[in-house]
Structure 1
Amino acid sequence: MSGNGTETKAYLLDTNVFRYKSSPSAHTNHKKAAKRFWKDVLQEVRHEEAVLYIPKEVIRELELQSYTLGEKERQRISELLENITITIPDWTTPDMEHQVRKMAAYIRSEYQRKINAMRDMEYGSVSDARILLTAWQYDCILVTANIKDFALYPLLFPQHEHRLLNLLSNDYVTISPSIYDTIHHDPIFTGMLQELNDFINR
């Protein structure tokens, strides 16, 4: 599956994709963006143009958050979850999660000012690292409203591929070819990427 071309798209959904659609207190623009995404993606699913994935980590986050939600919102989330094609079980390790956070911290330190999409970049939480790694391992388009926590993700794929979809703006995060090439010729980054692959292939 691929984020490009006519092949079936595999979307992996972050927690906020569910919360912004279901929460009565969500910001109006956030709620509109989530409604638009769900309307469009469910049409793609019906036409067999897309499948929806969710990592176990997002299930856990929604479960924890459910204790502070009203019954209607919990029901809306439950209804959205019925559209998920596959729930992906845990497979990451603490070493993998730390490596992803370390890579993001390095990119933030060295390249944040050069990349518009990374100006507010963070290295994210352990939970974010699990979600990112799951999306990468299963070759998915990662859908999130928290682009700053996942700005590393496009750098794990060829430059031309659309892999990180901003829920709020409904467009893909892109990195210019020149900056992408600079990063991928950075020996520290390439060494970190090799280490990550080594962790996965053990």
Structure 2
Amino acid sequence: MGNITETKVYMLDTNVFRYKSNPRAHKSYKKATKRFWRNVLQEFRNGESVLYIPKEVIRELEVQSYTLSEKENQRIAQLLELIEETVPDLATPEIEHQIRKITAYVRSEYKSDINAARDMEYGSVSDARILLAAWQYDCIFVTANIKDFMLYPLLFPQNESRLFDLLSENYVIIDPTVYENIHRDPVFAGMLQDLHNMLER
């Protein structure tokens, strides 16, 4: 094995900042988040990773800042200083809607197959914006709220680790057979092709 290490590009969700800064967060959530930041900052210092956030996360943190203490806002501001790039808005309302439609279809047809123990939702418009930013910038997406982002691993080749669950500290893996069944589904394939067509316009 050579010495060249591929740089990881992490896209961080809003809760990655909130659980680190909130003194009232559940103890296990706070510990997991602290471990993530400790590990990713070590990678960052070693030149092994970079940190991105979507513009939508900046908006969410700004809105939430009015309900937070000054200390929490200061902690979030310190974390934001580590971010390499803020990704601009990439989605139109039609693209956001298409992402939510695809997720809703997968949820209706394959929810129990993907993971019977894990809930799956189609997410908000804000979630669709965040998902698209992570996908278009080819990122590892980190979130504590994976139920709204279960479409994300399906947008990449099956063997790629792309959705990191902040709380379990593991990548979300979709069973290869389930992955193949979903991608062979003509409805899913057609909806995904429509999404690609929208992005190419």
1:86 aligns with 2:85: yes
Give the RMSD, CA atoms, in angstroms.
Answer: 1.1
CA distance in 2, matches of 1:63, 1:187: 41
The answer on whether the counterparts of 1:21 and 1:35 sit within 8 Å (CA) in structure 2 is yes
Alpha-carbon distance change, 118 to 125 in structure 1, aligned in 2, over 3 angstroms? farther
Sequence identity (%): 70
Report deviation, 1:118. 7.5
Equivalent position amino acid for 2:23 in 1 = P
Which residue number in structure 2 is paired with residue 153 of structure 1? 152
The answer on whether the counterparts of 1:117 and 1:173 sit within 8 Å (CA) in structure 2 is no
Which residue number in structure 2 is paired with residue 63 of structure 1? 62
Which residue number in structure 1 is paired with residue 73 of structure 2? 74
CA distance in 1, matches of 2:117, 2:160: 17
1:38-82 Cα offsets, whole Å, 9 max, x none, are: 000000000010000000000000000000000000000000001
CA distance in 1, matches of 2:131, 2:60: 14
Which secondary structure does the structure 2 equivalent of 1:52 belong to?
Answer: strand
Equivalent position amino acid for 2:192 in 1 = L
The answer on whether the counterparts of 2:90 and 2:132 sit within 8 Å (CA) in structure 1 is no
CA distance in 1, matches of 2:43, 2:116: 27
Report deviation, 1:6. 3.2
CA distance in 2, matches of 1:91, 1:38: 27
Equivalent position amino acid for 1:64 in 2 = V
CA distance in 2, matches of 1:141, 1:117: 24
Report deviation, 1:91. 1.7
1:174 aligns with 2:194: no
Equivalent position amino acid for 1:101 in 2 = R
Which secondary structure does the structure 2 equivalent of 1:53 belong to?
Answer: strand
CA distance in 2, matches of 1:91, 1:147: 21
Q: For structure 1, which runs of at least 5 residues remain unmatched after alignment?
A: none
Which residue number in structure 2 is paired with residue 184 of structure 1? 183
Which residue number in structure 1 is paired with residue 10 of structure 2? 11
Question: How high is the TM-score relative to the length of structure 2?
Answer: 0.97
CA distance in 2, matches of 1:167, 1:43: 17
For this pair of structures, how many residues does the alignment match? 198
Q: For structure 2, which runs of at least 5 residues remain unmatched after alignment?
A: none
Which residue number in structure 2 is paired with residue 125 of structure 1? 124
1:93-127 Cα offsets, whole Å, 9 max, x none, are: 11110011001100000001111178410000000
